[in-house]
Amino acid sequence: MLSMPAASSHPASPDHPASPEQPEARPGLGTLVRAFASSLVLEPVSEPEPAPVVYTAAIHTTADLVSSLIGITELSRDQGFNRHPETNYGDGGRHANYHVDHSTLPVSLTVNCNPPRQTVAIAVSGLDSEETLRCFQDLELALFGSC
């Protein structure tokens, strides 16, 4: 069984220090905390980094992989996407992902061509939602038309 000593009714003295429950035990603690807090140098809170946005669309297609990649490359170049193009093939060359950055805007395009599944999907990503949406809509219209 745990027992607690009874609170003393004697005032604090050097011979008998006050218990923590007695408020007069730490008269300078509030002053000390305020002095410490005022001595802290805090950096101003900066704006959070903008979150990227992504717009996607997909269509059903019976086009072969080579035709899809040629068409996507040509149409995306016409829309300003020509920096750092990269094509990654999967499943023994049966499908591919094409990635390219815009030449002047902080926007990227990724296209997934999957003839075995008969799909082509695009994703346009960037930090400025209006600019990214405009690029997406222009690309979607150029690549997919009014599907």
Tens digits of per-residue pLDDT, 41-99?
A: 677 778 888 889 999 999 999 999 999 999 999 999 999 999 999 999 999 999 999 99
Look up the CATH architecture of domain 53-144: 2-Layer Sandwich (3.30)
Beta-carbon contacts of residue 79 (< 8 Å; ≥ 6 apart):
135, 138, 139, 142
DSSP 88-99: EEEGGGTEEEEE
**What's the pTM?**
0.66
7: Cα separation from own chain's centroid: 56
Per-residue pLDDT tens digits for 26-52: 557 777 777 777 777 677 778 888 889
